[in-house]
Amino acid sequence: MSTCTTQTAASGRRLDPLLLRAEFPILEQMVHGHPLVYLDNAATTQKPRTVLEALERYYERDNANVHRGVHLLSQRATDAFEAARRKVARFVNASPQEIVFTRGTTEAVNLVAQSFGLQHVQRGDAVLVSHMEHHSNIVPWQLLCERVGAKLLVIPIDDRGVLELDALDRLLSPRVKLLGLVHASNALGTLNPVAEVIRRAHAHGIPVLLDGAQALPHAKVDVKALDVDFYACSAHKVYGPTGIGALYAKKQHLQAMPPWQGGGDMILSVSFAGSKWNEVPFKFEAGTPDIAGAIGFGAALDWVDSVGLGAIAAHEAELLAYATERVRELPHVRLIGTAPEKVGVLSFVFDDVHPHDVGTILDQQGVAVRTGHHCAQPVMERYGVPATVRASFAAYNTRADVDALVDGLRAVREMFRV
């Protein structure tokens, strides 16, 4: 591993996945008569008891609207909500004013496209993304480009799923007004050399947005060291609740950007002659936010801190290496995504069995994997497949989970033997 600030950090601590499992009530259940083996963590992770308790405690004791009441419950709700913002900020080394709560990564990217994008991208300009983006870092830019008459340019990837940096250099030009890049690919697992990409883009004065949905749970993110302009993430991929996430943006960007949604909380004053915007980050948080969700997000980051991100990353790297080796041994299997730097995502296809059939047979054995295009259809098109089977790992997975996956895949092979 390199010493890059965003690489999976080496850690002296080791985690015990069996101890951690006990903190996740959902993992105790049986599925189709088998103990649940949950390997769909890139879609969403399960939630530890501390997160579930934080949600329950909020609704049982503190529920009230934030930023507006003088009464005690409203003050407690506001304090907890703002404490969660400070936790998110600390987790990525930002200041709390630079953290906007959103519904998740998707909404964070849309916010940047519709506010910063509309302000900076004009007819004849370009937005640059990579060939390994999730749809949520493609479609918002397509909508913007169609609206203003700009072009979407694409950085190619090689057969392993590694970003082609030489091609990036050729694509960087004064026309490009923003570069959007996935930090870790959900379909391939590739962990991109984001510090280097940001350095090259900034040398041309081009701001960079990173889609951190898959990186935040696995790699140390330091927005200051990266000097990244925008960082989008979702709580539910990092052991937190669904429907909440965050956008980090440099303060000077947030201050210069126009609001993208209007309503309560985002204003200082309103009159029919005109309105004045609230200070950042509230300017971008119109309406009652997902207060419980934000508090749950904070609790999830506390949980990750208590286990240690470095220990989680090291554990997942071990599982990925073991799973890669075992799945490779199976006949007629092709791995999709073999980059040297990866997070815990193993995508593959069988030559002769459709991924959906594989997924259905695995489910019958209690093994939950994702099959499909993973909202990354350009990646599927790049490898000439309609879909892949994807196993993705989290802190609570074990080698026994990988063995159950491989046993299930052997059963698939048996069934489809010709």
Site of interaction with ligand 7TS (CB under 6 A): 42-43, 104-106, 134, 136, 182, 186, 211, 213-214, 234, 245, 370, 374-375
Q: 108 vs 412, which CB is nearer to ligand 7TS?
A: 108
Q: 45 vs 278, which CB is nearer to ligand 7TS?
A: 45
Q: Find out whether 254 and 98 touch, Cβ atoms under 8 Å.
A: yes
Q: Find out whether 118 and 148 touch, Cβ atoms under 8 Å.
A: yes
Upstream peptide bond of 140 is cis (omega within 30 degrees of 0): no
Nearest approach, Cβ of residue 346 and ligand 7TS (Å): 13
Q: Find out whether 412 and 333 touch, Cβ atoms under 8 Å.
A: no
Q: What are phi and psi of 165, to 5 degrees?
A: -70, -30
Residues 6+ apart with CB under 8 A from 13: 308, 310, 311
Q: 43 vs 267, which CB is nearer to ligand 7TS?
A: 43
Residues 6+ apart with CB under 8 A from 2: none
Q: 130 vs 234, which CB is nearer to ligand 7TS?
A: 234
In 104-189, alpha helices (H): 105-112, 118-120, 139-148, 165-171
Q: 36 vs 191, which CB is nearer to ligand 7TS?
A: 191
Nearest approach, Cβ of residue 18 and ligand 7TS (Å): 26
Q: 48 vs 241, which CB is nearer to ligand 7TS?
A: 241
Nearest approach, Cβ of residue 255 and ligand 7TS (Å): 25
Q: 192 vs 278, which CB is nearer to ligand 7TS?
A: 192
Q: 106 vs 397, which CB is nearer to ligand 7TS?
A: 106
Residues 6+ apart with CB under 8 A from 117: 127, 140, 141, 144, 177, 178
Instruction: Please tell me the distance from the alpha carbon of residue 416 to that of residue 406, in angstroms, as a whole number.
Output: 15
Nearest approach, Cβ of residue 117 and ligand 7TS (Å): 17
Strands of 208-211's sheet, edge to edge?
99-102, 245-249, 230-234, 208-211, 176-182, 126-130, 151-155
Nearest approach, Cβ of residue 174 and ligand 7TS (Å): 28
Instruction: Please tell me the distance from the alpha carbon of residue 91 to that of residue 248, in angstroms, as a whole number.
Output: 11
Residues 6+ apart with CB under 8 A from 97: 251, 254, 279, 280, 281
Instruction: Please tell me the distance from the alpha carbon of residue 26 to that of residue 47, in angstroms, as a whole number.
Output: 8
Of 222, 403, 215, 210, the C-alpha closest to 325 is 403
* 393: helix, strand or coil: coil
Nearest approach, Cβ of residue 42 and ligand 7TS (Å): 5
4 is catalytic: no
Task: Tell me which DSSP letter residue 229 carries.
Answer: S
Q: Find out whether 303 and 20 touch, Cβ atoms under 8 Å.
A: no
Which active-site residues does the annotation give?
375
